[in-house]
């Protein structure tokens, strides 16, 4: 055994990377097994390593507890086996709250306990557009309200997105065909660079592992190649604390894959991932069974946001409506709803106790649509989504619970302390509320489109009527007055 003690301190939930050179004959992506066991006191975590090309091997590890960790490598290659050493895990840096986990059945929180309120967007192929456009996308995200982005690992072939990517996930063989047993390290380094940049921005990378919009053959690999790809992906990227696994975009359109395949993919990811990152799969017409134990949350495509509460009750997991159609003006119906409509859907999902995702598809002379390629945002909804996000973050910790009583208008809250009602398309001139007689509440009118909050004078309790502005998209927030019960 050879021993190496690093003087490097890695922050909690950061990444320690071991670089291990070895000359290997044959195919190092297939012929070499590499892993490492990291231990701290009584804990031991084993993670898989990977070949990074040119006789280079790496192991990545995310330490989750401060202290001095020890490690030992394991390999059937003598040059890689039995390497030992240690490193120190220090406190997390500014803005590092750790990975996101499910919290309180229906919600999310970071590992340090900070609530995480998902406000996502879709940018399917942004990492396949070249440096200039990709850097512009990152600049846009710096000031956008989104804390999660849905993005494909493989490039996408679809209308408004027919360019060839700069990098491919695999090497070609002598016949010019893809060799699904040899990965292209350049592609993977580029992808993980972008994931790391998202992490620095505090944005979760919801990685879409398969999709049907493919002209290269990546959607039609055999089972052995599929599983090898998943294990390599996990070995390279699982240590990034901001990674989520989305098994597919519109999994039910991939006719070559059976339901047994999708179940197997989940199990491969679950068995390979030492950190148990969040896992789900996105549908077109048919929901996957989100009740299966390897699914951590629902990832739903639907325009029926008024069913959010139903989905919560059915699946007993967090509900994320990742796609509810997009703000834009393309001819396809899924990409031409107004900014007002997508904001309305965000509110419906929120008062249903779920979380909603954004997308934007405005016609562009160079086909640079945010939903696929990124770039800049043109729509009216992001500012209103930011307003809603702030309201949610100012509300009770760990998200909202749908109210089952008081008024027929959809509402969420926390016990008798906080209520948020959304009137949507209704436009009453007045409305009667029935709240507990033993508490007094401060009441505010919220214009969800104009982004205004108007406090009403006085305190309210029991049955009372308030005047409304006879306009749509209004909400009412009620918070128990301090010193009241």
Write out pLDDT tens, residues 348-379: 999 999 999 999 999 999 999 999 999 999 99
pLDDT digits (tens, 9 = 90+) for 314-336: 999 999 999 999 999 999 999 99
pLDDT digits (tens, 9 = 90+) for 406-424: 567 889 988 788 999 999 9
Q: CATH: 3.40.50.10790, 3.40.50.920, 3.40.50.300, 3.20.20.80. Which one for 100-394?
A: 3.20.20.80
Question: Is the pLDDT reported for residue 3 higher than 70?
Answer: no
Tell me the C-alpha to C-alpha distance, in Å, between residue 67 and each of 6, 83, 102, 186: 13, 20, 26, 34
Q: Are strands 463-467 and 430-434 parallel, antiparallel or unpaired?
A: antiparallel
Q: Which two tokens stand for residue 306?
A: 């008024």
Q: Which of 357, 400, 89, 428 shows the shortest CA–CA distance to 204?
A: 357
| Banded model confidence at residue 397, pLDDT cuts 50, 70, 90 | confident
Strand partners, 419: 413, 478
pLDDT digits (tens, 9 = 90+) for 174-193: 999 999 999 999 999 999 99
In this predicted structure, what is the pLDDT of residue 484? 55
Q: Where are the domains of the chain?
A: 2-90, 100-394, 409-480
Q: pTM for the complete prediction?
A: 0.96
Cα separation of the two ends of the chain: 66
Same fold flag, 2-90 and 409-480: yes
Q: CATH: 3.40.50.300, 3.40.50.10310, 1.20.1250.20, 2.60.40.3950. Which one for 409-480?
A: 2.60.40.3950
Distance, CA of 405 to CA of 423 (rounded, Å): 15
Mapped onto helix, strand or coil, the DSSP state of residue 360 is: strand
pLDDT digits (tens, 9 = 90+) for 204-241: 999 999 999 999 999 999 999 999 999 999 999 999 99
What is the average pLDDT value for the chain, to the nearest integer?
95
How many other CB atoms are found less than 10 A from the CB of residue 29?
21
Question: Is the pLDDT reported for residue 5 higher than 70?
Answer: no
Topology of domain 2-90 in CATH is Immunoglobulin-like (2.60.40)
pLDDT digits (tens, 9 = 90+) for 91-145: 999 999 999 999 999 999 999 999 999 999 999 999 999 999 999 999 999 999 9
pLDDT digits (tens, 9 = 90+) for 33-47: 999 999 999 999 999
């Amino acid at each position: 055994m050879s021993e190496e003690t690093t003087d490097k301190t890695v922050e909690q939930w950061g990444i320690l990377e071991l670089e291990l050179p070895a000359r290997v004959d044959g195919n190092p992506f297939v012929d070499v097994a590499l892993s490492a066991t990291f231990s701290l006191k009584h804990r031991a975590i084993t993670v898989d390593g990977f070949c990074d090309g040119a006789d280079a091997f790496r192991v990545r590890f995310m330490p989750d507890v401060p202290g001095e960790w020890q490690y030992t490598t394991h390999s059937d290659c003598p040059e890689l086996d039995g390497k030992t050493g240690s490193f120190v895990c220090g406190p997390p840096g500014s803005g590092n709250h750790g990975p996101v986990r499910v919290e309180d059945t229906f919600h999310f929180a970071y590992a340090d306990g900070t609530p995480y309120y998902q406000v996502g967007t879709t940018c399917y192929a942004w990492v396949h557009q070249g440096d200039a456009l990709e850097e512009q996308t990152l600049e846009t995200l710096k000031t956008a309200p989104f804390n999660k982005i849905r993005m494909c690992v493989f490039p996408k072939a679809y209308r408004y997105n027919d360019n060839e990517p700069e990098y491919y996930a695999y090497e070609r063989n002598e016949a010019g065909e893809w060799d699904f047993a040899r990965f292209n390290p350049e592609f993977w380094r580029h992808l993980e660079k972008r994931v790391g940049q998202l992490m620095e921005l505090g944005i979760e990378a919801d990685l879409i592992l398969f999709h049907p919009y493919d002209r290269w053959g990546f959607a039609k690999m055999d089972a052995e190649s599929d599983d090898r790809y998943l294990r390599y992906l996990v070995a390279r990227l699982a240590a990034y604390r901001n990674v989520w696994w989305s098994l597919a975009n519109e999994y039910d359109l991939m006719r070559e894959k059976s339901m047994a395949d999708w179940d197997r993919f989940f199990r491969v990811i679950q068995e390979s991932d030492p950190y148990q990152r969040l896992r789900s799969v996105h549908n077109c017409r048919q929901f996957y069974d989100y009740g299966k134990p390897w699914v951590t949350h629902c990832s739903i495509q639907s325009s029926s946001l008024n069913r959010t509460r139903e989905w919560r009750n059915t699946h007993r997991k967090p509900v994320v409506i990742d796609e509810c159609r997009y703000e834009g003006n393309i001819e396809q119906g899924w990409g031409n709803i107004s900014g007002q409509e997508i904001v309305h859907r965000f509110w419906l999902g929120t008062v249903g106790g779920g979380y909603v995702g954004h997308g934007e598809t405005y016609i562009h002379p160079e086909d640079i649509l945010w939903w696929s390629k990124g770039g800049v945002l043109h729509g009216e909804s992001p500012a209103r989504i930011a307003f809603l996000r702030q309201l949610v973050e100012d509300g009770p910790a760990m998200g909202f619970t749908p109210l089952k009583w008081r008024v027929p208008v959809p509402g969420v809250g926390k016990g008798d302390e906080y209520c948020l009602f959304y009137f949507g398309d209704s436009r009453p001139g007045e409305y009667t509320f029935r709240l507990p007689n033993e508490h007094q509440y401060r009441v505010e009118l919220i214009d969800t489109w104009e982004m205004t909050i108007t406090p009403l004078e006085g305190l309210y309790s029991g049955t009372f009527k308030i005047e409304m502005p006879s306009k749509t998209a209004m909400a009412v927030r009620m918070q128990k007055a301090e010193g009241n019960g």
